[in-house]
Structure 1
Amino acid sequence: MSYLKRALLGASALTVMGIAAQAETLTIATVNNGDMIRMQKMTAPFTEANPDITLEWVTLEENILRERVTTDIATKGGQYDVLTIGTYEVPIWAKQDWLVPLNDLPAEYDAADILPSISAALSVDDTLYAVPFYGESAMVMYRTDLAEAAGVTIPDSPTWADIKTAAEKMTNKDGEVYGICLRGKPGWGENMAFLTAMANSYGGRWFDMDWKPQFESAEWSEALNDYLALMTNYGPPGASSNGFNENLSLFQQGKCGIWIDATVAASFVTDPANSTVADKVGFAQFPNKEGVDNHGNWLWAWSLAIPASSDAPDAAKKFVAWATSKDYTAQVAATDGWRSAPPGTRTSLYENAEYQAAAPFAAMTLTSMNAANTTKSSVQDIPYSGGQFVAIPEFQGIGTAVGQQFSAALAGQMSAADALAGAQANTTREMTRAGYIK
């Protein structure tokens, strides 16, 4: 047992009948998203059934979580027993033998019920290395009342021209209503998740078949310039600091006409307890540029995995199986309603009539997830997989560096042309250094 784990256990060590006995403590690293916060409040059934297991939570903002768990697992630090990670990390880390295989979960867990696209993304050589807490694609969420008042229609399969027209007509800055809210906070999983999907929908790609960066292409230039124009003309102030959670809050407060982001947000923007516009939200697919047959191809799952450095893998397996089970979903439904059930993970959820009735976004979420093709995220030929990311180990650093350039352009600190040139130069240097470019 590591020194840190002993420190965390502290006074929980017990002595029973003269024999040292100690409850196992699971240290769980997770992201500060709404579904994970809910999970922490609903662990009583697990701890009651497992009185010998104590849960310790480390809840972090998305960029910080990624940095800390990546450092810990790469150095075999053993600080955490359960990690909240995504579809980007799982195959890369599994191939490094950094994760515990999860092919021995109990039969009642019903791993075959996991949506095929999500199961495939979390597996290597048909072995599951993480289990999905929730899955997502990306879609348009918009204010139906503002659209009606503005006399605009957002179709189920919109183009970026449709979005621009609607955002312009919905904007009322004097009333603090902004036509569109999009991610601006820098990070490979923050603004670059959105901008990579947007570039894909314009026909762009990160690399050509020789791994040469493509930021000098017409597709990237048009996508970035249109993004900056949307946000400058119709977006909220300080957008370069806004990520998923900040935009969620703005939309819930009625300050956004359109928000294009992860499908998982739908249950929160339609929650009458927390959203002032809960009964005024419509949904549509991620936009495409007219003439490009690609609606973003975003596919993600925030999943629970066990690092090989954990000293409590059996207890950790019990926890991850419980937290991603059908029983947990039913518990959430009983407590907060079927609308709040963790989405995008199990086939049975989308066959559940109660969920379909309670979640007006269910059909569009499933449509968006099924439309994602992470092996062909661009209409052009690509040497990589991944939807809103590139599935190579170097992408964390490269993606974040590019995200900083584009966030600076959004903040008015540089032009789009300079940001693209900087992204091209930096990415070319790093890909050459890593040996991709010969």
Structure 2
Amino acid sequence: MRYSTLLMGAASTLALTTASAAFAGAITIATVNNGQMIQMQGLTDEFTKAHPDITVNWVTLEENTLRERVTTDIATGGGQYDILTIGNYEVPIWGKQGWLTPLEFSADYDVDDLLPAIRGGLTVEDKLYGAPFYGESAFLMYRTDLFEKAGLTMPDDPTWEFIGEAARKLTDRSAGVNGICLRGKAGWGENMALISSMANSFGARWFDEEWAPQFDQPGWKETLTFYAELMKDAGPSGASSNGFNENLTLFQQGKCAMWIDATSAGQFVSDPKQSTVADNVGFKIYPHKDGVDNHGNWLWSWNLAIPASSKNQEDARTFIEWATSKDYTELVASKEGWVNAPPGTRTSLYENQNYLDAAPFADETKAAMNAADITKPTVDPVPYTGGQFVAIPEFQSIGTTVGQLFSAVVAGQSSVDDALAQAQSTTQREMRRAGY
């Protein structure tokens, strides 16, 4: 298998958004524009108070752009960044390649407090290559007031069939309420996170045991047809441009009766300071197809890692230890309330009564993460691991291409059959080229 495909889809030239902090005492951090990271950036002064000799420069980017920039930089040894914000997809692959520096922290950091599933996904040959900033699975968020008004009761174990019926019933265009909001923005970590998980819960799979793509099989047609029709009947206008952040805003503004996405959204929809519907939000496990015993949950973490090309590794390590520590969690709680503590990384958080009392989504988040089995993500056997992604280097390119094809269906620019046929042929070609 060739690693050159890791660069496919990335920019051919580096777009320099900031000068590299190639001198002692300054670090440049590339991160995603999610709420938790914006929060971390806002607390930079707290870090520099304790470490006045370290200057922190931020490059905050939209998710797809971040992935493109850091992938290009690390694969070419560009050295633009001292700290990368990357997922548990990249960490083990890049760690094995020698592109990341192993992390070692002080005893106070308590690495054993990291949730085993999260820590395991960031470890290569007993070395930690990424420190989790927050972790997540996926679940269903819904408006309890709208369900009550419509005479609907959300099951404890919802099926996609129920979700489809409820979404159509709850859609009220005149009132600006969409029955459901789902990711439509193209990207292997955007719409394909949702659609791959949905496909798992429908009984589909990306590849069979011989690495043959499976988009020509009934499970994928059923999945994509259900998704596209649901988005057309009950989703928001312009859904093909909506990712996590766009749907979060819609839900917070009361424009979605249901939203299925990352458990990390729980804090933002439950906080009255940020959400107009905070008092009327319920949480349930990720749906499954009737008769299929697989919820398709994903397991994801956004992590801070040091590229081997960094010239400021000790300062970078100091920042990472601060930003992913128990003390940082306490700091956020003191500034923003316990509901906003970074979720899904430490056992101690889910044993903290202050957090449990403040976070109505805590139990559902932990249950979703525990239910996610990335070693067996599908009903039928597969040669890969990963829930919402396939843990091979080539997936970054292939997943993005397929995501563009499926986003075009939501935009009304392609049919389900055409998109699946193109996904099948494109994936076959790329897998042959990679030597599978």
Counterparts of residues 59-208 of structure 1 (less than 5 Å): 59-102=60-103, 104-208=104-208
- 8 Å CA contact 2:86, 2:302 repeated in 1: yes
Counterparts of residues 13-412 of structure 1 (less than 5 Å): 24-102=25-103, 104-412=104-412
Distance in 2, Cα, partners of 1:54 & 1:346: 28
**Secondary structure of the corresponding residue to residue 26 of structure 1:** strand
1:23 is displaced (CA, Å) by 5.2
Distance in 2, Cα, partners of 1:111 & 1:429: 42
Distance in 2, Cα, partners of 1:138 & 1:395: 20
**Secondary structure of the corresponding residue to residue 167 of structure 1:** helix
The percent of aligned pairs where both chains have the same amino acid is 65
- 8 Å CA contact 2:91, 2:130 repeated in 1: yes
- 8 Å CA contact 1:182, 1:231 repeated in 2: yes
Distance in 2, Cα, partners of 1:125 & 1:292: 35
Distance in 2, Cα, partners of 1:380 & 1:123: 27
Distance in 1, Cα, partners of 2:284 & 2:400: 28
1:44 is displaced (CA, Å) by 2.1
- 8 Å CA contact 2:185, 2:239 repeated in 1: yes
- 8 Å CA contact 2:20, 2:79 repeated in 1: no
Over 3 Å counting, the alpha-carbon distance change for 1:355 and 1:79 in structure 2 is same
Distance in 2, Cα, partners of 1:279 & 1:5: 40
Unaligned runs of 5+ in 1: 11-21
Amino acid aligned to 2:35: G
Distance in 1, Cα, partners of 2:153 & 2:111: 41
Amino acid aligned to 1:75: T
- 8 Å CA contact 1:136, 1:344 repeated in 2: yes
Distance in 2, Cα, partners of 1:38 & 1:73: 25
**Secondary structure of the corresponding residue to residue 198 of structure 1:** helix
Over 3 Å counting, the alpha-carbon distance change for 1:237 and 1:429 in structure 2 is same
Amino acid aligned to 2:189: G
Distance in 1, Cα, partners of 2:188 & 2:278: 30
- 8 Å CA contact 2:21, 2:81 repeated in 1: no
Match of 1:19 in 2: none
Distance in 2, Cα, partners of 1:139 & 1:384: 23
Amino acid aligned to 1:278: A
1:271 is displaced (CA, Å) by 1.3
Amino acid aligned to 1:90: V
Please give the per-residue CA displacement for 1:349-380, whole angstroms capped at 9, x wherever unaligned: 00001110100000000000000000110011
Match of 2:8 in 1: none
Task: Say whether residues 1:432 and 2:432 are aligned partners.
Answer: yes
1:8 is displaced (CA, Å) by 5.3
Distance in 2, Cα, partners of 1:93 & 1:433: 21
- 8 Å CA contact 2:19, 2:80 repeated in 1: no
Distance in 2, Cα, partners of 1:242 & 1:6: 28
- 8 Å CA contact 2:20, 2:80 repeated in 1: no
Distance in 2, Cα, partners of 1:8 & 1:233: 48
**Secondary structure of the corresponding residue to residue 181 of structure 1:** coil
Match of 2:3 in 1: none
**Secondary structure of the corresponding residue to residue 412 of structure 1:** coil
**Secondary structure of the corresponding residue to residue 52 of structure 1:** coil
1:166 is displaced (CA, Å) by 1.5
Amino acid aligned to 2:69: R
**Secondary structure of the corresponding residue to residue 259 of structure 2:** strand
1:291 is displaced (CA, Å) by 1.2
- 8 Å CA contact 1:156, 1:283 repeated in 2: no
1:43 is displaced (CA, Å) by 2.0
Distance in 2, Cα, partners of 1:251 & 1:97: 41
1:7 is displaced (CA, Å) by 4.9
Amino acid aligned to 1:124: V
Please give the per-residue CA displacement for 1:311-361, whole angstroms capped at 9, x wherever unaligned: 011111100000000000000011111100000000000000111010000
Amino acid aligned to 1:303: N
Amino acid aligned to 1:28: I
1:217 is displaced (CA, Å) by 1.0
**Secondary structure of the corresponding residue to residue 186 of structure 1:** coil
Amino acid aligned to 1:340: N
**Secondary structure of the corresponding residue to residue 367 of structure 2:** helix
Please give the per-residue CA displacement for 1:175-219, whole angstroms capped at 9, x wherever unaligned: 110000000000000000000000000011100011000011111
Amino acid aligned to 1:191: N
- 8 Å CA contact 2:212, 2:428 repeated in 1: yes
- 8 Å CA contact 2:21, 2:28 repeated in 1: no
Q: Which has the larger radius of gyration?
A: 1
**Secondary structure of the corresponding residue to residue 166 of structure 1:** helix
**Secondary structure of the corresponding residue to residue 279 of structure 1:** helix
- 8 Å CA contact 2:18, 2:59 repeated in 1: no
Distance in 1, Cα, partners of 2:171 & 2:131: 41
1:68 is displaced (CA, Å) by 0.2
Please give the per-residue CA displacement for 1:59-116, whole angstroms capped at 9, x wherever unaligned: 00000000000000000000000000001000100000000101x2100000000000
| Alignment RMSD | 1.3
- 8 Å CA contact 1:23, 1:54 repeated in 2: no
Distance in 2, Cα, partners of 1:417 & 1:296: 23
Please give the per-residue CA displacement for 1:105-156, whole angstroms capped at 9, x wherever unaligned: 1000000000000000111112110000000000000000001111111122
Amino acid aligned to 1:52: D
Distance in 2, Cα, partners of 1:232 & 1:8: 45
**Secondary structure of the corresponding residue to residue 303 of structure 2:** strand
- 8 Å CA contact 1:332, 1:340 repeated in 2: yes
